[in-house]
Amino acid sequence: MQKIIILDFGSQTTQLIGRRVRELNTFCEILPYNRFPTDDADVIGVILSGSPLSVNQSDAFRLCFDNLRGKYPLLGICYGAQLMADTFGGSVQRSDTREYGRATLSWLNASDPLLAGIDVGAQVWMSHGDTITCLPSGFCAIASTSTVANAAYRGADEEQLWGVQFHPEVFHTLCGKQLLENFVVGICGSRQDWSAAHFVDTTVAELREQVGTELVILGLSGGVDSSVAAVLLHRAIGNKLTCIFVDHGLLRKNEYAEVMSLYEGLGLNVVGVDASAKFYAELAGVTEPERKRKIIGKGFIDVFEAEALKISDARWLAQGTIYPDRIESMNITGKVIKSHHNVGGLPAKMNLKICEPLRWLFKDEVRRVGRQLGIPERLISRHPFPGPGLAVRILGDITPEKVHILQEADDIFIRALREWATDDGDVLYNKVWQAGVVLLPVQSVGVMGDERTYEQAVALRAVTSTDAMTADWAHLPYDFLSHVSNEIINRVQGVNRVCYDISSKPPATIEWE
């Protein structure tokens, strides 16, 4: 499979470069800047990412270009462009004018293949404190802005080497998609054959090869990743896969039954375990958020293990780990941090091998593969939901009564989001990243009929986001909020006040705990 290698110098937008390349139906791998795979015959081009560092810093990340220059088409982005200019004899200096945010290309060489289809006036997004003041000999500028002479450059004619000081991967570089397509398809020659259908076919074949006739277990959460992993495995090995779905009693109203029936409809062999009583008992009286999380995390592993050990001849533990969970990312000191997700000590205890069929996919690709596999849209487009469930939305101690109140209020809110039509014919649910209700440890005075009440307050939370790293509160219509507030107060016994959380992240977080 043809692939583009993206060498990561620690930029916050490196993953975005990867996603853009994948959107061009081209496979890519993101690797730490110093781990270029010299023996991989499938590589068709290399992109060097940006970085929070300056090439003039004594501890800047440097690169040996012996295996790259002249061997593959190269595209440097921001730091990547500055690093190539600096390494090959040019000069990079701190810029006197700020080069952040929106800019437009004031001149460009329209005949350069990197800029095909891009016109003067195109909007680009800059984010750099250094600038290339002098290009290496044989290099030439191919685009400028009013303040950045070498906004884009190319190497000598015989070598396929380009640099751009702006960020083509971000949304605000409106010509970025075209530029990346020019590089990946036009210059590197991608056949654009990486697609959901292709992924399903090759992965099913690989899984059959990898797992053979051995038994596999997998923990389902009701979320998209584990569901898609399960259906993919089921397509490959059928009933050799057993799924375990643990109900910790902190799911949404009716969620356990609904998700179980969706899974069964998909033909999966699912063992459902209602462990709510155990979790309520262990959580009784606990108010500290991190303790709640620990108790739930450990309890989940205990229940999962007990079920998994019953399938004593299982040889594999499958997980819904996706690519962003695995990318070895660097912090600014250059230390490589590798994250890996395991279900407790189970793999060692049962001598299980790990199988991660989605390990190459970004989240949006997981959804596309899910659709390709025929998984119902209701499962595919579900909002993210935290592992500890409603526990992090009940401030203070957790009781079954509080869970019940929250489930009822949450159900009204989510149902309304799913039903409320927007101007473009979609529904509000699809316009927000995530939504839910928070039960506050606050009681307040109200009046219902002729009676004075003293009942709970709840907060509605709905945010827009693309990755949960940052989020804005969703600007839901007033008449929608009014409808939900009335419904909750009229129908949920014990609640007499509804607030709407209008905090963004940062400085707030999406969840309240």
Out of 418, 468, 482, 490, the residue judged to bind ligand XMP by CB under 6 A: 468
Nearer to ligand XMP, 253 or 393 (CB): 393
**Residue 183 gets which letter from DSSP?**
I
Nearer to ligand XMP, 382 or 415 (CB): 382
Q: Which residue has its beta carbon closest to ligand XMP? A: 387
Map residues 326-365 to x or -, x wherever contact with ligand XMP holds by CB under 6 A. Answer: ----------------------------------------
The verdict on 511 binding ligand XMP (CB under 6 A) reads yes
* 92 touches 129 (CB < 8 A): no
Give the amino acid at 17.
I
d(CA 433, CA 456): 26
Count other C-beta atoms under 10 Å from residue 137's C-beta.
9
The verdict on 502 binding ligand XMP (CB under 6 A) reads no
Q: Residue 45: in which H helix or E strand, if any?
A: strand 43-48
* 353 touches 245 (CB < 8 A): no
Out of 388, 403, 405, 414, the residue judged to bind ligand XMP by CB under 6 A: 388
Give the interface segment with ligand XMP, choosing from 85-93, 351-359, 379-387, 418-426 (CB under 6 A): 379-387
Give the interface segment with ligand XMP, choosing from 67-75, 155-163, 199-207, 502-510 (CB under 6 A): 502-510
Instruction: Supply the minimum distance, in Å, between the C-beta of residue 25 and ligand XMP.
Output: 28
* 465 touches 433 (CB < 8 A): yes
Instruction: Supply the minimum distance, in Å, between the C-beta of residue 391 and ligand XMP.
Output: 9
- Dihedrals φ, ψ of 198, to 5°? -65, -45
Give the interface segment with ligand XMP, choosing from 3-11, 386-394, 412-420, 473-481 (CB under 6 A): 386-394
Map residues 237-276 to x or -, x wherever contact with ligand XMP holds by CB under 6 A. Answer: ----------------------------------------
Instruction: Supply the minimum distance, in Å, between the C-beta of residue 436 and ligand XMP.
Output: 8
Catalytic positions: 78, 167, 169
Out of 344, 347, 386, 494, the residue judged to bind ligand XMP by CB under 6 A: 386
Using alpha carbons, select from 272, 486, 248 the residue that is nearest to residue 388: 248
Tell me how far the alpha carbon of residue 68 is from its chain's centroid. Answer: 30
Nearer to ligand XMP, 166 or 279 (CB): 279
Q: Count residues near ligand XMP (CB under 6 A).
A: 12
d(CA 180, CA 133): 24
Give the interface segment with ligand XMP, choosing from 92-100, 180-188, 355-363, 384-392 (CB under 6 A): 384-392
Using alpha carbons, select from 470, 473, 469 the residue that is nearest to residue 461: 473
d(CA 440, CA 451): 22
Using alpha carbons, select from 14, 10, 2 the residue that is nearest to residue 467: 14
Using alpha carbons, select from 175, 338, 40 the residue that is nearest to residue 164: 175
Q: Residue 314: in which H helix or E strand, if any?
A: strand 314-318
Tell me how far the alpha carbon of residue 311 is from its chain's centroid. Answer: 32
Out of 384, 396, 400, 441, the residue judged to bind ligand XMP by CB under 6 A: 384
Which residues contact ligand XMP by CB under 6 A? 293, 384, 386-388, 392, 434, 468, 505, 509-511
